[in-house]
Amino acid sequence: MLTRLRNKIFERVNGTEGVRIPGDLVGVEHFHKLYAHPAATGRSRGAGLSDLFWYWLAPGPEVHQEHLEPGFRYDEVARCTRRFLAKPLRDSEKLAAEVAGRVLDEHPVRLRLVRLRDEMMPIWAEFYYELVFGTPCPRRARDLIVANAEDVVGSLKCTRLRHMDRRRALTSYLRGRNPVVPLPASLTPDEQVFWLQGTFFNTAVVQSSEAMAHLLLALAQQPDTQRRVRDEPELLDEVISETMWRWPLFGIAHRITSAEIKVDEGVTLPAGSVLLFDYVAFQSASRQNHIPFGVTANRPCPAKGIVPPTMRAVAREVLARYELSSTAAHERPLPNRGPCLLQPRDAVRPARMALAYLRVRDRFEDLTRGIVQLVLGTAMVLHARKLRLAERYFETHDSQGRPL
C-alpha cells in the first residue's frame, strides 16, 4: 500500500507520461523490435522524468553515459568506457578474486550478521579503482567511493536523502588523478571527472554490489544450490544468469523517440514519445525473455562482458570462507540490502536463533522503511521538480552539450 501511495505521489508531482511496454497499447511481442528501433535512442531531452534521474545521479548527470543524447559526444564517451573495460577477462577475474580475498580477510571468519550489499561495496570500489587507475585502491579512496555509491543507491531507492557533500568529496579526490586510458577529449576537465565518477564509481559499484547481493541472497536461501556450486563452481554462471532473470537490476529503462514509429496496424507512436521498457513484465512473460544487459542494438550495458566472470570470482571467494543463510525477504529493489548470516564453513550448529531474529527484524524494518520511503521519496521528487536540472540544461544547451 505504501509503495502504491508513493508511486501515486510521484505521478501526481511529475505527471504521468510514457508508454509502458508491454502494456495496453503495445504488447510483449513488440518489446524487442521497439527497443531495437533506430528511432528509440533519445535519453534525456523531452522527458519530465529526466529531472528526477538527473537529480539522483548528480553531480554531472549531463555527461553520464546513460543520459547522453545520441551523437558524437555519446560515441566518444561510449568508446572510452569500452577501452577501460577491455581488459583480458582472465586478468579481470584474477583481479576480482584478489581484491575480494583481501577485503573479506579484513574480518576474522566468524559468525556475522551482515547486509550483503554493504559487504560487497568495498570490494567493487577497490576493483574499479584499480581497473581505472592501475594501482591498488588506498583506504581513503575506497571510503569515498563507498560513501558516494551508498548515497546514490540509497536515494534512488528513497531510503535516504541525497547528500551532495559526500558525492563532491569524491569528485575532489578524483580531480587531477591519472587513469590508465585517456579521458574523452571533447569533455572539459570538470566533465571528465564527473564522467569517471558517474560510470565507474557510481554505476559500476552500485550495479555490481546489487547484482552480487541478489546472487548471494539467492544462494543463502537455497542451501542445496549453494552446496552444488561449491562442488561444481562452473554452475555459477547458470546461477548468475538465473538470478538476473528473476531479479533484474533494471525495473524500467526508458527511451525518447526521435521520429514516428509504426508498431502495428492502428498503433503509431509519435516522435517525442517516452517509451518505458518494463523488464520485470517482459521477463515474467517467458523464460526465453532474458535481457540482463539490455538489447545489443540500442545502448546495451558496456560491462556485459566483464560482469559475469568477475561476479563468479567474487562469489567463489565468499563461498570458500562462509556458509550463507537468510530468512529475509528477497525483493527485486532489495531495499533491505540483503540481510544474511555468515557462518564459518566448519560451523557445527545451524544458528537458528540468529535466523529467527533476522526474520523478525526484517519484517519490522519493512514496515518502518515503507513510511521512510514515502516521506523521503516525496521530498526528493519535490526538490527535483524545483531544481529542474535536465529541463534547465536543455534550455541553454543543444543535444550535444553546445551552449545555445
Q: How far is the CB of 378 from ligand HEM (least distance, A)?
A: 26
Q: How far is the CB of 214 from ligand HEM (least distance, A)?
A: 9
Question: CB under 8 Å to 45, separation ≥6 — which residues?
Answer: 69, 256, 390, 394, 399
Candidates 5, 25, 28, 78: give the one binding ligand HEM (CB under 6 A): 78
Q: How many residues bind ligand HEM (CB under 6 A)?
A: 25
Q: How far is CA 177 from CA 135, 143, 205, in A?
A: 11, 17, 19
Nearer to ligand HEM, 81 or 257 (CB): 81
Question: CB under 8 Å to 75, separation ≥6 — which residues?
Answer: none
Interface region with ligand HEM, contact rule CB under 6 A, candidates 142-150, 165-173, 292-300, 395-403: 292-300
Binding mask 48-77 for ligand HEM (x = CB under 6 A): -----------------xx-----------
Q: Is 197 in the site for ligand HEM (CB under 6 A)?
A: no
Strand 19-21 relative to strand 274-278, pairing: parallel
Binding mask 81-120 for ligand HEM (x = CB under 6 A): x---x-----------------------------------
Neighbours of 120 (CB within 10 A): 27
Q: How far is the CB of 25 from ligand HEM (least distance, A)?
A: 20
Candidates 207, 226, 243, 257: give the one binding ligand HEM (CB under 6 A): 207
Residues of this chain, 210-229, that bind ligand HEM according to CB under 6 A: 211
> Which segments of 134-235 does DSSP mark as H helices, in order?
139-156, 164-174, 189-198, 204-220, 223-231
Residues of this chain, 240-279, that bind ligand HEM according to CB under 6 A: 244, 249-250, 253
Nearer to ligand HEM, 89 or 382 (CB): 89
Three-state helix/strand/coil letters over 360-380: HHHHHHHHHHHHHHHHHHHHH
Residues of this chain, 14-43, that bind ligand HEM according to CB under 6 A: none
- The DSSP symbol for 235 reads G
Interface region with ligand HEM, contact rule CB under 6 A, candidates 177-185, 202-210, 370-378, 391-399: 202-210
Q: Rounded to an integer, what distance in angstroms lies between the CA atom of residue 400 and that of residue 233?
A: 46
Q: How far is CA 367 from CA 296, 335, 336, in A?
A: 39, 12, 11
Q: Rounded to an integer, what distance in angstroms lies between the CA atom of residue 30 and that of residue 294?
A: 15
Candidates 39, 111, 246, 293: give the one binding ligand HEM (CB under 6 A): 293
Q: Rounded to an integer, what distance in angstroms lies between the CA atom of residue 152 and that of residue 155?
A: 5
Interface region with ligand HEM, contact rule CB under 6 A, candidates 189-197, 204-212, 257-265, 324-332: 204-212
Peptide bond into 22 cis (omega under 30): yes
Q: How far is the CB of 2 from ligand HEM (least distance, A)?
A: 27
Evaluate whether 174 touches 201 at the Cβ level (below 8 Å). yes
Footprint on this chain of ligand HEM (rule: CB under 6 A): 65-66, 78, 81, 85, 199-200, 203-204, 207-208, 211, 244, 249-250, 253, 292-294, 299-303, 307
